[in-house]
Amino acid sequence: MNPADSKWPRLTAAARSAPDDRDTAAPYGFGTRVAALAMVPERAVASLLERFSLRALGLAALLAVVCVAANYSTLAGLFRDEVATGADDPVAEIVDLAS
């Protein structure tokens, strides 16, 4: 172990006193390029992932519509039976259970 750790305080004091001569200004034309890129219309060529994801979304929506159309009579029958039995009437349910 070092007898006295005087190196670290000396180094940090030297680092604090060092002048900062870095150029913090943006390069010439940077603001103009950023503004021009913000106003550019969407790219004509989309990425491969974007194209496949939109196709998959369309296919999934089409499949959902086909499934609902194929089972429409079953779904309509479920709602029709529920309304006909009076599922919201607890007295009718008890009378049905008792008889």
CA 85-90-93 angle, 5° bins: 50
Exposure b/e, 41-56, CB count within 10 A at least 16 = b: eeeeeeeeeeeeeeee
pLDDT digits over 35-61, tens only? 888 888 776 666 778 888 989 999 999
Please give the C-alpha separations between residue 74 and each of 56, 79, 93, in angstroms, as whole numbers: 27, 9, 23
Helices (H), the chain: 7-17, 30-38, 48-70, 72-85, 90-98
pTM: 0.37
pLDDT digits over 50-91, tens only? 888 989 999 999 999 999 999 888 888 777 755 555 557 777
| Contact call for residues 86 and 92 (beta carbons, < 8 A) | yes
d(CA 56, CA 24): 47
